[in-house]
Structure 1
């Protein structure tokens, strides 16, 4: 859900203006990613714009951004009626701005109306950005650019509508998990792309690359999702250590005095020995792991330690707890 708390910030505050500026920048980056790297090559990365790409191949006189409006406007009206105030103004504006920006940019980078209809990459910027010779590189670049744009938008607690709304509706009325609902909606779009573009259903002409375009589309979807996750959560996960040692006091002094952290004792019982002891539960940054393990080895070479990923860590010294309704990558 979208956090509407930020909408109540004073209009004169820099954080308020910065948030809106980043939404428009993110939407512009995402739109440019579609125009330059997705649309001309008939990748179908799910969502309303993926559906727009499919329909543009059937009705080439209608731009992909226009199809975006055809899907987004009814979905947004439905979401406002169903979810009311939970559906944020930032999402509405982002969903309305992006298709229009894509339409305008498309007309600027193609030489004439016929080229706008065909979206031939050989005509894009006079052929200076024709990447049709390396489709894998093109889908990777497009996915990264679109993911960065989406990530900027979502970081400001907005979305670009589309299948996010479908996922919300399926969750409410069909009891389907939000992520599963989005996957189902995107799957239908990708399948339609395979039928219409890959196999030429309804057009009588199989698109360039045939069914391989569907594989490129799946790659695009995966990379985009990973980039958005990186934009939201970052790449550096914290590490969680479980330490079993008989030299508890020395380890306690090291953690508190040298490492300047705290930890937790967990009551444990050895399965083989049957002896009760305290196991240390410690969270550190990824950069500190080798230093901590080296110190454990120096203090107690017979200690037993387990290191695992801590996907998210909240509290003093780590991330602040998120506000209610904050959007997350997972």
Structure 2
């Protein structure tokens, strides 16, 4: 089977995301006795309930394996190889890093919850942008959503609240719950920022006397399709052509460079796009 460079790059980015995710847990959350949501939170409860006999990585792998086997019967084959890869690699990294890191890198639990939440959220967000998933509550939400008309996001929220609340049975400390909920909020916000930042697009309207050359260079250099619209200036009554182009936000700098070199007097209007779907962008989902 032939593997493309883009696929290798995608798996490398997923691995980086999983490393950041597991580092947030093992260097800040777990040693600080902070229970967050998801399977990682369940693993942390098991770790301390068994007096540190079962590392979180082991629980993470076992629980996700059971969930996937159940989900395969309920949902059918809806899990890509990247999700399975993320679960295996994530479990391995959690186990190894928990063995190497024996104490929290910060003494203050509130600071640990903030830093851990940012790192864990960023890691999950990076993984999701490449089509992967860390499984866990995502899988449970998909199974419940099949039979109940409840949004997956709400299901995950309820499950995470329950997991964090369950930590009281082990630690008998209300402050532990507070730190857990702080981490949950920060992680959720970081995930959204990471995903939206990676997928943010821009729409450009370009008016230039050299529109043919500009269009040719933009199409060649960016690999994006353009739309040409016939326009008439209201003040000058002159007819012209306007180019419409949608690109990722990080591509706009290159677009401006091409336009400036071709026609420094070109008029450009740029606006942010909440979502771009179809060829070259996000897959259209129902």
Q: Give the TM-score of the pair, scaled to structure 1.
A: 0.62
The answer (yes or no) to whether the contact 2:161–2:181 under 8 Å persists in 1 is no
2:19 matched residue in structure 1: 28
**2:63 matched to 1:59?**
no
Offset of residue 81 of structure 1 = 2.2
Distance 1:189 1:238 in 2: 39
Offset of residue 108 of structure 1 = 2.0
2:220 matched residue in structure 1: none
Distance 2:91 2:123 in 1: 14
1:245 matched residue in structure 2: none
Q: Which of 156, 177, 201 is the matching residue for 1:214?
A: 177
Distance 1:323 1:68 in 2: 29
The answer (yes or no) to whether the contact 1:238–1:313 under 8 Å persists in 2 is no
Distance 2:189 2:142 in 1: 21
Q: Deviations over 1:101-133 (max 9, x none)?
A: 2111221233xxxxxxxxxx3xx5xxxx3x22x
**2:192 matched to 1:229?**
yes
1:81 matched residue in structure 2: 73
Structure with bigger gyration radius = 1
**2:112 matched to 1:138?**
yes
The answer (yes or no) to whether the contact 2:129–2:195 under 8 Å persists in 1 is yes
Kindly report structure 1 stretches of 4+ aligned residues shifted beyond 4 Å.
235-239
- Compute the RMSD of aligned alpha carbons: 3.1
What is the correspondence of 1:140-159 to structure 2 with a 5 Å cutoff? 140-159=114-133
Aligned residues: 230
Structure 2 gaps of 5+ residues are: 204-232, 250-270
1:157 match: secondary structure:
coil
The answer (yes or no) to whether the contact 2:277–2:283 under 8 Å persists in 1 is no
Offset of residue 322 of structure 1 = 1.6
1:322 matched residue in structure 2: 282
When residues 138 and 228 of structure 1 are mapped into structure 2, their CA distance, relative to the original with a 3 A threshold, is same
When residues 324 and 86 of structure 1 are mapped into structure 2, their CA distance, relative to the original with a 3 A threshold, is farther
Q: Deviations over 1:21-41 (max 9, x none)?
A: 111221111111110011011
Distance 1:219 1:152 in 2: 21
Q: Which of 308, 312, 323 is the matching residue for 2:274?
A: 312
The answer (yes or no) to whether the contact 1:166–1:185 under 8 Å persists in 2 is no
Structure 1 gaps of 5+ residues are: 1-9, 111-120, 200-209, 240-247, 263-284, 286-308
Distance 2:8 2:156 in 1: 30
Distance 1:315 1:261 in 2: 19
Q: Deviations over 1:5-62 (max 9, x none)?
A: xxxxx73311011111111221111111110011011212110110111122210211
**2:165 matched to 1:173?**
no
The answer (yes or no) to whether the contact 1:56–1:63 under 8 Å persists in 2 is yes
